[in-house]
Structure 1
Amino acid sequence: MRRSLSVRWRLTIAYTVIIAVSGAVLLTLVYGLVTRGEVQSGSATTQRTPGADAEAPPPERVVTGPDDDDSDETAQLAQSSWFALAFVTVVSVGIGWLVAGRLLAPVHTITARARRISADSLDERIALGGPRDELRALADTFDELLGRVQSTVTSERRLVATMSHELRTPLANQQAALDVALADPDAGAGELRAAATTALDQSRRAARTIDALLVLARAQSGEATGPPSAVDLRAAVADAIEQVRTPDDGLAWDVHLVATTVPGEPDLLARAVANLVDNAAHHNVPGGRVRVALTVEPGTARVTVENTGPVVPPEAAADLVLPFRRAAADRTAAVSGVGLGLTVVRAVADHHGGVLVLTPRTDGGLVTELRLPTQ
C-alpha cells in the first residue's frame, strides 16, 4: 500500500512551493522592469551636415539601443537572482520543516495524552494549555467528550452492579426455598407446593426485571424500530387504567381523559403510561386516591397521574427515576415492582422528545407528569 506523506511534510512542501513561486514572480517582474528601463534610456544622437545654415531642415535623429555592457550586467543580475532564489528555496525546506513541527506540536500533545487514556483512566483530561486557538478548542471539546463518556460508563457500571444484585436476590430466594424442601425427606405435598410457589414467584420477579431491562435498553438506545406512527394516547391511558384498577383495590379513582394522538412507538408509550398508573396504585395507602388526567396544550400532551401515599422528601423525588430506586425503605418489601418503572418512563420520554416531571405532595404521595410533543 502506498504510504502518504505526513502532515508535517505536506506543510513543509506547501511553504516551500509558496516561497519559490512568490520569489519567481517577483524576480520576473523586477527583470521586466529593469530591461524596460534600459530600452527607454537608450541614447539618441543627432547628425548635422557641416556648413548647413540655421534655416536648414531639422537634422535626422538616430536612436541607438543600450550599450552591450548594460546588457551583460542585466544578464548577470538575472543569473545571480535565480541562483539566489534556488538557494532560498532550499533553505526554506528546513525552515518550513521547523515551523510545521512547531505548529503541530499541540497536535502531538493531544495524541500522546489521548493514547494514555483508557477505560480505567477516564478521569484524565487533555488539559492543553497555550492560547485559545483552534487546537485549544479541539482539546477542550475532547475533554468535554471524555466527561460525558465517563459519566455514561460510571452510570452503566452502577446499573450493572445493581442489576446483578437485583437478579441475585430472587434467584437466591428461589434456591433457598427449593433447598429447604429437598433437604427434608419427610416433606409433605403441602410443603413442596409452598416451596414450588415461592420459587415460581421469585422466577416471575426475575423475569419482570429482565423484561423491564429490555424495555429500558430499547428506549435508551435512541433507535426506533420504524417510522413513528400516530398513537392514540387516550386509548393507551384507558387501557392501562383498566389493567390496574379492580373493584376491590380500595382506591378512589378520578379519571379525566381527552382525545389526542402523539407521534411515536405504540409499545413504548403504552409501557410508559402503564408504569405511571401501576406505580400510583401500588405505592398508595388503604382507602387512598388516584387521579389520572390527560390534557392537551398547543404542541404538548400531558399525562398527569397523582396519588396519595407515603411522604416523599423533595430531595429524594429526583432519585426515583434512577434504576432500582424504590419508595420502600426495604429493598425486598416491594415484591410487586422491580424498581425500574419511572426509569423506563423517563427513557421513553427522552426517546420521544418529551420530559418526565415528579412533584411530591405535601400530605403524601406523588404527582407524575409525562409531557409529550404532539407533532
Structure 2
Amino acid sequence: MTGATAPNAPGDQNRPTGPGATATGVPRRPASGLRMPRRTVRLRLTMLFGGLFLISGAGLLTLNYALVSHATQGAVSYQGANGLSGSIDGLPPGQRPEHPTQGGPQLSASQLDKQIQLLQSRALQQRADNMNALLAQSGIALAVMAVVSVALGWVIAGRVLGRLRTVTSAARDISATDLHRRLALPGPDDELKELGDTFDELLARLESSFQAHRQFIANVSHELRTPLARQRVLSQLAVSDPDATLDSLREAHHRVLVAGSQQERVIEALLTLARSQGGFETREPFDLAALTAQVLTTRSPEAESRGLTLHTHLTPAPTSGDPRLAERLITNLIDNALRHNTPQGTLEIRTTMNGPCPVISVANTGPKLPPAALERLFKPFQRLESERTSREEGLGLGLSIVQAIAEAHHATIEARTQPAGGLFIQVIFPACVSPRMQRLPVHSA
C-alpha cells in the first residue's frame, strides 16, 4: 500500500533517533562543535618540549625535596614561647642537657623533660610545615615554568620549522612547467639545509628527466612521421600518375614496404627500450660467451660482406638476469661496431672475468670521434651522421638500448675513443647472483 511503512527491524528500536542521528544510527557530529586542533609537527614539538621540561623539572624538585628532608631529619631548630631556643638532635625525653637554660628559672627534672618534649613536638611540626610550604611553592613554580616552557617551545618550534614550511610551500607551487625553480635555503649547514639541497637536486633531476622526455617524444614523432609522409607521397604519386604501369606501381609499393619496415624497426626498438627501462622480476643464469657466440653466427656474414676482420676471445663469463635482454645488448654492441667501421677494418670482441665480475668488450676501427661525443651516443635518437653513418643504417637507439639494459642488470658501461679511430665499449656486469634471488629492485634510466 502506498504510504505504508515497513516494520522496524529487530535492532531498530535501539537506534538513536532525532535530528542528530544518521541513517545508520551513528550520531552526526555537529558542524559547529568544538574541533581538536590539527596535530601539526609544531604542536607535537611544543608538547614534547613542555613534557620534557615538566618531567625534568618534577624530577629536579623531587630530588631537592628529598635532599632538604634528609638534611633536616636529624636536627630541627625551635623557638619556645618561654624564651628557650636551640636545636634538638633527636635526644630521648629522659636525657637532659647540662645547661638547659641560661639565666632563667631553675626547673626540676620532670619539668625539664616535659619542656623538651613540648619544644621537640613544636620543632617537628614547624619542620613539617616548612616542608609542605616548600612542596607547594615548588609546585607553583613548576606550573609557571611549564607554561613558560610551552610558550617558548611554540616559538622555537615555529622558528625551526620555518624553513620546512618554505620547502612545503615551494613543493606545492612548483609544477612541471617551472621545474627550473630552486629553494636555495639560507642558514646554517644543518639537517633542514640538507633537506633543501636534496630537494633542489631532485628538482634538477626532474627537470632533466622532463626535458629528456619531451625531446624523446619529439624525436619519436619525427622518426615515425618521416616514413608515414614518405608512404603517403609515394601512394599519391602512384595513384595520380595517369601513365602508371605495372612496373611503376610495383616499384611504388616496394618503396612503401621499405618505409613500413623502417616504422617496424623504430617501434620494435622503442618497445625494447621501454622493456629494458621497466626492468625484470626474475633472474635467470646465462653465459655472456655463449650468447655472444650465438649473435656472431648471424653477424659474421655481414662482417665478411663489409670486409671486416673479426677477432674473438670468448671465455666463460657466467652471470644472471634476463638472457633475452642481454642478447639484445650484445647484438646492439656488435651491430654498432659493424655499421660504424671503416672498410677493411677490424672488430674485436671479448668476454672474460674481471675478478668476480663478468665483462664483455667490443672494440672497432672507425672514424675519429671527439670525447665529448660519447655522451651523446648513448642518448636516444642521437646520431653523428656526418662522421659515422647515414640515417638509413641506424635509428639512433642502439646504444641507448644498451645503456637501459645495462642499468636493468646493474651493470656498468665504460666507453672511450681509440687513438686511431673507433670506439672501445665494455659492459661490466655485477658478480654472479643466485638465480633464486628474485624481484630485485631495478633502477630505470
Superposed pair shares fold, TM > 0.5: yes
Q: Which residue of 1 aligns with 2:76?
A: 41
Secondary structure of 1:263's aligned partner: strand
Distance 2:44 2:425 in 1: 60
Structure 2 residue aligned with 1:96, among 144, 148, 153? Answer: 153
Alpha carbons of structure 1 residues 195 and 20: separation in structure 2 relative to 1, 3 Å: same
2:401 is aligned to: 344
Amino acid at match of 2:295: A
Bigger mean CA offset, 299-308 vs 337-346: 299-308
Aligned-pair RMSD on alpha carbons? 3.2
Deviation of the 1:268 alpha carbon = 0.8
Cα distance, 1:29 vs structure 2: 4.1
Instruction: Give the residue type in structure 1 aligned to 2:48.
Output: A
Structure 2: which 5+ runs fail to align? 1-28, 30-35, 78-86, 89-94, 99-104, 433-445
In the alignment, the residues of structure 2 paired with residue 214 and residue 208 of structure 1 have an alpha-carbon distance, to the nearest angstrom, of 10
CA contact (8 A) 1:309 1:365 kept: yes
Match of 1:116 among 170, 173, 188: 173
Give the direction of change, closer, same or farther, for the CA distance of 1:172–1:87 in structure 2 (3 Å limit): same
The answer to whether residue 53 in structure 2 is matched with residue 19 in structure 1 is: yes
Q: Is the Cα contact below 8 Å between 1:300 and 1:373 reproduced in 2?
A: yes
CA deviation profile, 1:74-131 (whole Å, cap 9, x unmatched): 5445434433433333343323322222222221122122222221121211211111
- Check if 1:5 corresponds to 2:39: yes
1:132 paired residue number = 189
CA gap of 1:3–1:273, structure 2 versus 1, over 3 A, is farther
Alignment CA distance shift 1:327-1:22 (3 Å): closer
Q: Is the 8 A contact 1:352 1:372 kept in 2?
A: yes
Matches of 1:51 and 1:108, distance apart in 2 = 82
Alpha-carbon offset, residue 366 of structure 1: 3.0
1:184-221, Cα deviation, whole Å (9 max, x unpaired): 24312212211211111111111111111121122223
Counterparts of 1:71 and 1:60, CA distance in 2: 22
Range that drifts further, 65-74 or 316-325: 65-74
Q: Secondary structure at the match of 2:429?
A: strand
Return the alpha-carbon distance in structure 1 between the equivalents of residues 263 and 43 of structure 2.
61
Query: CA-to-partner distance for each residue in 1:214-243, whole Å, 9 max, x for gaps?
Result: 21122223x2141x2221222211221221
TM-score scaled by length of structure 1: 0.85
Give the Cα–Cα distance (whole angstroms) in 2 for the partners of residues 230 and 5 of structure 1.
Answer: 52
Residue aligned with 2:291, SS:
helix
Counterparts in 2 of 1:40 and 1:254: CA distance versus 1, 3 Å: same
Change (3 A) 1:206 1:88: same
Q: Is the 8 A contact 2:340 2:389 kept in 1?
A: no
Instruction: Select the structure that is richer in helix.
Output: 1
Bigger shift: 161-170 or 37-46?
A: 37-46
Provide the residue aligned with 2:6 in structure 1. none
Which piece of structure 1 moves more, 114-123 or 280-289? Answer: 280-289
* Aligned equivalent of 2:296: 241
Instruction: Give the 3 Å change call, closer, same or farther, for CA 93–284 of structure 1 in structure 2.
Output: closer
| Deviation at residue 4 of structure 1 after TM alignment | 5.0
2:415–2:424 Cα contact (<8 Å) kept: yes
Larger deviation: 126-135 or 350-359? 350-359
Give the letter for the 1:318 counterpart: E
Gaps of 5+ in 1: none
User: Offset of 1:33 from its aligned partner?
Assistant: 4.6
> Are 1:365 and 2:422 matched, yes or no?
yes
Residue 219 of structure 1 is matched in structure 2 by 276
User: In 2, are the aligned partners of 1:304 and 1:367 still within 8 Å (CA)?
Assistant: yes
**Given the two structures, how large is their TM-score scaled by the length of structure 2?**
0.73
Structure of higher CA gyration radius:
2
Which stretch of structure 1 is more off in the superposition, 136-145 or 353-362? 353-362
Distance 2:155 2:291 in 1: 69
CA contact (8 A) 1:254 1:292 kept: yes
Partner amino acid for 1:245?
S
When the two structures are aligned, how many residues end up with a matched partner?
367
Structure 1 contact 251–289 (Cα < 8 Å) conserved: yes
CA distance in structure 2 between the aligned counterparts of 1:39 and 1:361, rounded to whole angstroms? 95
User: Counterpart of 1:263 in structure 2: which amino acid?
Assistant: S
